[in-house]
Structure 1
Amino acid sequence: MATTHIKRSASASRLVNYAEKRAVLKDGLNLDADYAKSQFKQVREVYGNQGKTQAYASRISFSPKEFDPTNEDDQQKALDIAKEVYQKTYPNQQVALYEHADTDALHIHAVIGAIDLETGKKMHGNWQEYREKLVHNTDEIVQKHGLEVTKVDPERYEKRSMAEIKMHDRGQPTWKDQIRQAADSTMSNPLIHDFQTFRDDLKQKAIDVWERGKDLTYQLTGTNYKARGNKLGTAYEKGAIYNELERRTRDQRDTQSETRKPDTNRFNSAQSDPERNQELSGHANSTTKQTTNRTDRTADTNRTSQSARQSKDNSRTAKDKQRPTGQQQHVKNPKRQPKPDRSRDYGPSR
């Protein structure tokens, strides 16, 4: 798997000086790599096209699983593949190639002259367009050689200056790398769903971040090292951060809404099962009938008892009317009879 990089430079000679120092192999397209600096300068003078940008710094790096940096055959094969890539991508440019084997991965530094040898004009466009073209051709060629195609994620692309590239090649992390790693760690936390929590989490990692116009500014706490998001890479820009945080907030809101949604399966299942409904309906009707029957029997019993009591009262009233008046009064107002005085009959008591 090969990874690529490309960046503008105002000095072709400076790029050559850096790349040539530790090169184990070198080669060139439309120039002699041993005289690269002078030939770059000669073309600029011939076409009278000095300008601000003299060259483009590019790099192709191969995976350690595919090429061994200490193996000379792998070194030559990697350089040949890189030369094929740049030949196809920049056929009318001067390209000096320098291979380094001082890290775990074989990588080739390319210094690409900005002037087209046919037209005498400089490359038009921007570095992002050049990189996309370079990535496309690299993938096509490495696949032809049986190597793995690079999976490019443009949203995670990191922009690096030449100073960063040099430090990266020496295995030295930069302060921008520290900011990128902290931001990546924070965004990997699913609990970070708004800018306030994003800023607070970075604060704990000794990174300050704030909004400034259309972008974010990151700074190592207590230092003067700070950079805009668009200088770190597209993944660290304000738009990318805010879009991801808004997506997480929206997903969280949808999840909570689903949790609060009532479960209507029980009601639907009862409605969709006609046999169950009929059974429930029959049960309800039978219960109603039993209740009605008990009510009717109770009412009949009450009416029977009331009729019996009323008949008995009527019979008693009729008998009372047939008796003499005095007897009726005696019955109505009975008086207790006094006890007879037996003392006269038996004499004095002893």
Structure 2
Amino acid sequence: MATTHIKRSNSASRLINYAEKRAVLKDGLNLDIDYAKSELKQVREIYGNTGKTQAYASRIAFSPKEFDPQNETDQQKALDIAKEVYEKTYPNQQVALYEHIDTDSLHIHAVVGAIDLESGKKMHGNWHEFRDRLVHNTDEIVEQHGLEVTQSDPNRTEKHSMAEIKMTERGQPTWKDQIRQSVDETMGNPLIRDFQAFREDLRQKAIDVWERGKNLTYQLIGTNYKTRGTKLGTDYEKETIYHELERRQQQSQETNRETSTPDTARTNPAKPDVDRTSELSRNTDSATINSQNSAGPTTETNRTNQPRSQSSLSNDLDQLVAKQREEQQTVGTDLTKRLRPISKADRNAQSEDRRSAEQDKQQPEKQQRNLEKSQQPTRKERERHDGPSR
């Protein structure tokens, strides 16, 4: 049985320094293991890809029931299996392998270069997919070598690291326990029915959560403490959370449909069906009569063939129309009589306005003539200047 682990690192040299000090055996893929640091650096410089992520730190651990850490034969066999796993999983990467026997389980540390030797690009995409591929290949290869495949516990709702276990034994709470407790409280609220409400409620508890590929990532706001839902347990994984939220949405929609659908089968439950039918029949007959009356007066021949009720109704309608015509004629005659003196007064007023306008038009001409006459010199003035006239 073998377990695997992988995570990103921004310092390949630091990983190699740690792994090389305690290694009992070492080997490499696509590099010389004795010059691993310099060759990894050289590849990054050649391709001009000196970004933040330089390598991936990985590890494969074997069960002490299968390999004895102190047995040299087991040591070499475990290293060969690990090399086969990484060669199949990362064929175009530089990989440095270092075997450790300082714990009960024999394990191999692997430093995987981030640069693809064929494309010159880094391992882009969701790096959790790289881990899934590594786990799948590990299970496949160890089974070929007659070893037991690691089985995950489906009933394990929470996952605790060794550091968490030790802190729990000392009675010290961990930050992961804080996240678990907050998520439990949020999901305990039945009003949380979508991911947006789930996220906002956790923010009020100083926890941020977001989707990252197939997983959810949780982080304590204001700190660097963050972890994936798969590290916390099955109850905190994306699939579990989304499944519960969708179930609540469907249940809420069904409840709303049941409460909002009215019973339209009976328009008036107080009346039996027979009474409603007769009432609708009477309404239909009255509507037919009104439509016939509004179409216009009928001929004498048709009137004799109609029922008496319809004939009397038509007579009343004719009388009403005749009366309305008489009233309209009376009103029109009275209005004409009243308007006659008004129109005569209007004509007198218009005549007066025209005379005033003509007088106003003639007045400036008279003023102009008077002014010109006043400006002409008198006879005495002409004689004074021009001499006596002849």
TM-score range, shorter chain: 0.5 to 0.7
CA contact (8 A) 1:155 1:234 kept: no
| Offset at residue 182 of structure 1 (A) | 8.6
In structure 1, what residue type is equivalent to 2:188? F
Aligned to 2:21: 21
| Offset at residue 176 of structure 1 (A) | 11
Distance 1:42 1:130 in 2: 24
TM-score (norm 2): 0.47
| Offset at residue 213 of structure 1 (A) | 5.8
CA contact (8 A) 1:193 1:248 kept: no
Aligned to 2:141: 141
In structure 1, what residue type is equivalent to 2:19? A
Sequence identity (%)? 61
Structure 1 residues 142 and 157: alpha-carbon distance in aligned structure 2, compared to 1, 3 A threshold? farther
CA contact (8 A) 1:229 1:236 kept: no
Structure 1 residues 68 and 226: alpha-carbon distance in aligned structure 2, compared to 1, 3 A threshold? same
| Offset at residue 158 of structure 1 (A) | 9.2
TM-score (norm 1): 0.52
Distance 1:173 1:237 in 2: 21
CA contact (8 A) 1:156 1:233 kept: no
Distance 1:20 1:89 in 2: 22
| Offset at residue 103 of structure 1 (A) | 1.0
Aligned to 1:84: 84
Structure 1 residues 4 and 23: alpha-carbon distance in aligned structure 2, compared to 1, 3 A threshold? same
Listed as ranges, the matches of 1:61-100 within 5 Å are 61-100=61-100
Distance 2:127 2:159 in 1: 11
Structure 1 residues 49 and 158: alpha-carbon distance in aligned structure 2, compared to 1, 3 A threshold? farther
CA contact (8 A) 1:180 1:232 kept: no
In structure 2, what residue type is equivalent to 1:23? A
Is 1:111 matched up with 2:111? yes
**1:4-37 deviation line (CA, Å, top 9, x unaligned):** 1111111111111111121111111111212110
Distance 1:23 1:115 in 2: 24
Distance 2:127 2:155 in 1: 16
Structure 1 residues 157 and 137: alpha-carbon distance in aligned structure 2, compared to 1, 3 A threshold? farther
Structure 1 residues 181 and 105: alpha-carbon distance in aligned structure 2, compared to 1, 3 A threshold? farther
**1:176-223 deviation line (CA, Å, top 9, x unaligned):** 994557988999x9xx99637xxxxxxxxxxxx76646579687xxxx
In structure 1, what residue type is equivalent to 2:24? V
SS in 2 for 1:96: strand
Structure 1 residues 122 and 245: alpha-carbon distance in aligned structure 2, compared to 1, 3 A threshold? closer
Structure 1 residue runs of 5 or longer lacking an equivalent are 197-208, 250-350
CA contact (8 A) 1:96 1:112 kept: yes
| Offset at residue 81 of structure 1 (A) | 0.4
Structure 1 residues 242 and 116: alpha-carbon distance in aligned structure 2, compared to 1, 3 A threshold? closer
Aligned to 2:47: 47
In structure 2, what residue type is equivalent to 1:62? F
Aligned to 1:195: 188
| Offset at residue 125 of structure 1 (A) | 2.1
